Structure 1
Amino acid sequence: MEQAASIGHQPINGIDVYYEYYPNKASEKTIVLIHGFLSSTFTYRHLIPLLKKDYQVLSIDLPPFGKSGKSHHYTYSYKNLAQTVIKLTEYFKLKKMTFIGHSMGGQIVLNILHMVPELADEAILVCTSSYLKRSKLPLILLSYIPYFHHIVKYWFARTGVKKNLQETLYNHDLINEDMINGYLQPFLQNEIFVALTRMIRHREDDLPPKVLNQIKTPCLLLWGDHDKSIPLHIGEKLNKDLTNSKLIVLKETGHAVPEERPTEIYQYIREWCQAP
């Protein structure tokens, strides 16, 4: 049975975190949704209505994205972002969780599974960013130049939301004004670019194979066969490096799987969560 949603902000780990929490007394299972780079809870807007009928759902805007805080003091490392997610689940006293991460969010999930393996019953990794190295030292040093965030903003403006969506979606017919405006909204203020500049400095390497080998949590990998951002061969390598994983390839699908295949994701979640 669905209950009234709790949607708002909570100070966690030294920063203001936006969340959407949908309780469900009929389910002991909580699905925790973590979005990717330059995204937000908005990316799960088609999936959440399906999930909240069967599960409790917690969707989080990772700082500095979406409606979460853009701090000049927060450390935007994967480890600290993972710690922030962990502390928010503790705030809600959640147990029996399934973590779902898309793109960069998948890398945050992997960090959580490595740091606190007992926290999740299973995980679903959707086109997860993997094997990326830290930014090059010259770029990190440049990020300390005053007003460097204007360069970051200029890069984003040149790339543009619509062009990014065309790169991440296989089916361009899905792109409309609501989608463009939804992804653009968090980037209309300068604070996000100051925070992204700090992320350039703080983001560490993705987890290496020797650490991935240690993760025993059952992981379902969902990948688009036309993913240009994180190609399928990355998913195949990740599937080999995780010792308890399964890879499913979605045909005629790009990187933005939650946009293109929410119903299919929902079905795979139900099957995976019920698997012994």
Structure 2
Amino acid sequence: MNAKFYPCEAGDSEKLFVLIHGFMSWSFSFQSLIPSLVNHAHVLTLDLPGFGRSKKDVKYEFSYEQFTKTVQDMIDRREEHFTDIVPVGHSMGGQIALRLARSNRCVHRVVLLASSGDMQKSSKRLRWASRLPFFDVWLARYVRDRDVSHVLKQVIHDNKKVTTEQIDAYSLPLQENLMYRALSKFIRQREGILSREELHKITKPVLLLWGENDRIVPVGVGRYLEKELHRAKLKVFPKVGHLLPEEIPLEVGEEIIRFSAGKERSE
């Protein structure tokens, strides 16, 4: 397997929460959310191929569809038989969660946390550039020149919530050179987001959780998804940025548990 998995057991529950991280992130982003979920269902997190502590296999096809197949393979390898699978996708992970909803009959509900919804396929110029020799070297230099603490302060609304642990955790994967070769392939192979027509075909209930002050994926994207998905409900949290699982893990956990039990709020 190209991905690194982290299972959290929860008795005999037939429900499974699958936590799928976003772009340039990894399973660390869910560490504060997991304690709110683990007493209610099995919880499975992962580092998608090319990210976090996963294998950086440059032969892997770095596309949303392949990521979805990898996550599905991970679920199939489990000894337990889950009849109620709830994908929880953050940012880019939302595109994978929606694709799981299309392909897995045991997925009855989907949770999207500040999901990407307007990220089109990379431009032809960028895809061409990614094939140039040493593009991955340039990419590594470009990324490493960015101050991780500054980036976190851009995505977390309350700068006081940025911790040394977060800075260290998000800095760690950036030191691995193979990650940039994988990232170069991702730039070339990543599809665009699901089209409006594809979104219309998803008839399962979808919970959209958003931060009002998200500067990475603005709340307008959430409103667009609520409009295009037949059974979607959007909840917006004030004074919250892009990293909902880390900024307000208890509130997010409560919403996920209520929604997955079929007890959505009407407001």
Fold in common (TM above 0.5): yes
Q: Residue 130 of structure 1 is aligned with which of 108, 114, 117?
A: 117
Whether 2:201 is the aligned partner of 1:214: answer yes
Match of 2:108 in 1: 121
**8 Å Cα contact 2:110-2:205 kept in structure 1:** yes
- Tell me the CA shift for residue 132 of structure 1: 1.5
Amino acid at match of 1:261: I
Amino acid at match of 1:266: G
Amino acid at match of 2:124: L
**8 Å Cα contact 2:4-2:54 kept in structure 1:** yes
Task: Give the 3-state SS of the residue equivalent to 1:118 in structure 2.
Answer: coil
Dislocated runs of 4+, deviation >4 Å: none
1:147 to 1:119, Cα distance in 2 relative to 1, 3 A = farther
Greater CA drift, 153-162 or 58-67:
153-162
- Tell me the CA shift for residue 26 of structure 1: 3.9
Match of 1:105 in 2: 93
Matches within 5 A, 1:61-210: 61-92=47-78, 93-95=80-82, 96-114=84-102, 116-210=103-197
- Tell me the CA shift for residue 173 of structure 1: 0.5
1:170 to 1:56, Cα distance in 2 relative to 1, 3 A = same
Whether 2:247 is the aligned partner of 1:244: answer no
Match of 2:20 in 1: 34
Match of 1:58 in 2: 44
1:225 to 1:94, Cα distance in 2 relative to 1, 3 A = farther
Query: Can you give the 5+ residue segments of structure 1 that lack an aligned partner in the other structure?
Result: 1-10
- Tell me the CA shift for residue 117 of structure 1: 4.5
After superposition, the C-alpha distances for 1:74-114 in whole angstroms (9 at most, x for unaligned) are 00000100111011101115421111000000111112222
After superposition, the C-alpha distances for 1:133-164 in whole angstroms (9 at most, x for unaligned) are 11111111111111100111122123331122
Amino acid at match of 1:104: M
**8 Å Cα contact 1:64-1:70 kept in structure 2:** yes
Q: Distance in 2 between matches of 1:44 and 1:236?
A: 24
Q: Distance in 2 between matches of 1:273 and 1:228?
A: 28
Q: Distance in 1 between matches of 2:174 and 2:106?
A: 33
Amino acid at match of 2:127: I
Q: Distance in 2 between matches of 1:208 and 1:197?
A: 24
Query: Can you give the 5+ residue segments of structure 2 that lack an aligned partner in the other structure?
Result: none
After superposition, the C-alpha distances for 1:11-68 in whole angstroms (9 at most, x for unaligned) are 2xxxx21111112224221111000011111000111122112211000111111111
- Tell me the CA shift for residue 267 of structure 1: 0.5
Amino acid at match of 1:17: A
- The two structures have a TM-score, normalised by structure 1, of 0.92
Amino acid at match of 1:67: R
Task: Give the 3-state SS of the residue equivalent to 1:222 in structure 2.
Answer: strand
- Equivalent residue pairs, number: 261
Amino acid at match of 2:185: R
Q: Distance in 2 between matches of 1:120 and 1:94?
A: 13
Q: Distance in 1 between matches of 2:190 and 2:61?
A: 9
Task: Give the 3-state SS of the residue equivalent to 2:145 in structure 1.
Answer: helix
Q: Distance in 2 between matches of 1:143 and 1:162?
A: 27
Q: Distance in 1 between matches of 2:81 and 2:202?
A: 21
- Tell me the CA shift for residue 249 of structure 1: 0.3
Q: Distance in 2 between matches of 1:152 and 1:138?
A: 15
